A and B are shown apart, each in its own frame.
Chain A
Amino acid sequence: MLCQECQKNQATIHLTKMVNGQKTETHLCEVCAAKHGPFSLSIGLPLPFSIHNLLSGLMQEEDSAAAEVNPEQAPLTCPTCGMTYPQFRRQGRFGCPTCYETFESKLEPLMNRIHGSHHHEGKIPLRGGKGIDQRRRLDELKGKLLQAVAKEAFEEAAVLRDEIKRLSLEQEESKEC
């Protein structure tokens, strides 16, 4: 077998990669393997597939049905970077942060497949995330209020209602500044 990289020497080093149950093999000669080094994380190896190819596969499956329904429609295009949805699907990477809004209608199933979720939990940026924290807190309180009403815990509900009112007012005020 010839080395996959130089296609000249005999391949003597055989690398098998298992990622999420996906097995890939790379065959290299000593000279080419030495370039990668014995402990290299092998990120740079030209493997037969990349995570982006895999993603692209995930998305194509999803959309083939939808495309047939409406072949005439112009593809979704990001106003900031000009990336079209078919392009995103091919590359498996966004062009710019605005793409998240542009392709929003398609993202939910994709994120579910990758992460098993389509909703961020965790850190919110201190400056850029102002208001988000409050919004999350408000949502949480509203949920609790519904529960309290359902189990007829009216005293608790009254406390929650006041807290929601206070937070909503705060939010209004901060918008005005």
Chain B
Amino acid sequence: MLKTMPWQSPAAYWMQEGPDQDVILSTRIRLARNVSGLPYPNFQTEENAQALLQQIEEIIPLLEESTENRWQLFRLKDLNESQRSILVDKHLMSPNLGERETQAALLLREDEAVSIMINEEDHLRIQVLFSGLQLEPAWNLANTLDDLLESRIDFAFSDRYGYKTACPTNAGTGLRASVMVHLPALVMSQKIGPLLTGINQLGMVARGIYGEGTEAIGHVFQISNQISMGKPEKEILAGLQAIVKQMVAEERQARRMLAERTPLQLRDKVGRSLGMVQNAYLMQSQEAVKRWSDLRLGVELNLIEYVGYDQLNRLMVQLQSGWLNQEAPADETLTPEQRDVLRAKLLRQELREAVISPMK
């Protein structure tokens, strides 16, 4: 049993300080694995699904012993709507996990660096989430956990096609590595379009989070490998690492250019958004995301003091309906306007100490 439940705090392991955090929010490694001889979750019987959950429960002591951390299995049917949303917003599970309510579960390590989805599209999806750019350490942990699980479970594997996943797009290594990046300066200087197209041509996928390209409101993108077969894991990771490093360099350069050419406009943009969040009494989610991105840019360029990256990362959870809905009376959800009131209140409280740094 974990000491605190994951939905009781907006903080997660990936939100702490990390390498290249001025551009990179988090790194995720996901390995898709399936049990040999059993139909995939979409086609399996209730009995098989429950047997797998039972088997996973029996592995917990082994995991606890070898990782020196507590683990707990959460069955989706025991979680309410708001708790599920918070887990999704903390990136610990996918929204799809809720589709197979009676069969699905989330196996969570206490520090929230590891979450294993059970009976999602695949029987097991091992996920490691680290802060900043940490592809190799995250892969090493995922790889170790994969070996541990394989010591007790027979994974479906073929010499030719590798790990046999439910969807052919994940077959081979079963690996999906993703890096979440904040690229406000590339969007503002209109360089994002060609960059995202270029990424696609290199076998990677770039996805805007809530909106695409120049319209991506929070300027947050997720870059992942598209191809999972034909290359060893290390090679896939090296490819992604190289592309992400390049993006980091380009974003930093675009920020320097903006700071040199339009210093007042930049300061004005950040200052106005800070003024808004410190004084607004109604804040819609879309505007909140926009302000959030400006504030992060302010922190990234040292234009704002007394706000940390960890705090901004937590806000990604706190500003969302799942977290805000916790304030609702049991079995009720808040209206959008009630949420706007709570969202504004939360921002006023969280950012009350923030100030614009003095002009040099």
Q: Is the CB of A13 within 8 A of B286?
A: yes
Kindly list chain A residues whose C-beta atoms are within 8 Å of the C-beta of B19: none
Of A96, A107, A121, A135, the most chain B CB neighbours within 10 A belong to A96
Chain A residues within an 8 Å CB radius of B151: 126-127
Q: Does A40 contact B (CB under 8 A)?
A: yes
Residues A19 and B205 in contact in the complex (CB < 8 Å), given A30-B336, A55-B169, A115-B229: yes
Decide: B232 and A38 in contact? CB cutoff 8 A. Answer: no
Write the chain A residue with the least CB distance to B288. A38
Q: Contacting chain B: which of A87-95, A157-165, A168-176? A: A87-95
- Chain A residues at the B interface, C-beta cutoff of 8 Å: 13-21, 30-31, 33-44, 51-52, 55, 80-81, 83, 92-98, 100-101, 107, 110-111, 114-129, 132, 135
User: In the complex, what distance in Å separates the CA atom of A42 from the CA atom of B209?
Assistant: 7
B89 touches A40 (CB 8 A): yes
Q: Would you call B37 an interface residue if the criterion is a C-beta within 8 Å of the partner chain's C-beta atoms?
A: yes
Cβ–Cβ contact A31 & B336, under 8 A = yes
Closest CB of chain A to B77's CB: distance in Å? Answer: 18
B162 touches A94 (CB 8 A): no
Assuming A96-B43, A119-B230, is B168 touching A20 (CB within 8 A)?
no
Cβ of A150 to closest chain B Cβ, rounded Å: 27
Contact (Cβ within 8 A) A19 B285: no
User: Are B209 and A39 interface neighbours, CB within 8 A?
Assistant: yes
Chain B residues within 8 Å of A117, by CB: 172, 227, 229-231
Are the C-beta atoms of B36 and A128 separated by less than 8 Å?
yes
Q: When the two chains form their complex, are residues A126 and B147 in contact, meaning their CB atoms are under 8 A apart?
A: yes
Q: List residues of chain B with CB within 8 A of the CB of A15.
A: 210-212
Q: Which of B155, B217, B227, B284 contacts A115 (CB 8 A)?
A: B227
Contacts of B88 in A (CB 8 A): 37, 40
Q: Tell whether, in the assembled complex, residue A96 and residue B285 are in contact, meaning their CB atoms are under 8 Å apart.
A: no
> What chain B residues lie within 8 Å of A95 (beta carbons)?
39-40, 42-43
Q: Are B96 and A43 in contact (CB under 8 A)?
A: yes
* Given A38-B289, A97-B37, A97-B158: 4 more A-B contacts, CB < 8 Å: A30-B284, A39-B316, A43-B96, A119-B161
Can you list 23 A-B pairs with a CB-CB distance of less than 8 A?
Answer: A16-B213, A17-B212, A20-B205, A36-B210, A39-B320, A42-B210, A81-B43, A92-B168, A93-B40, A93-B166, A95-B40, A96-B40, A100-B164, A107-B161, A111-B229, A115-B172, A115-B230, A117-B227, A119-B161, A119-B229, A120-B173, A120-B230, A126-B151
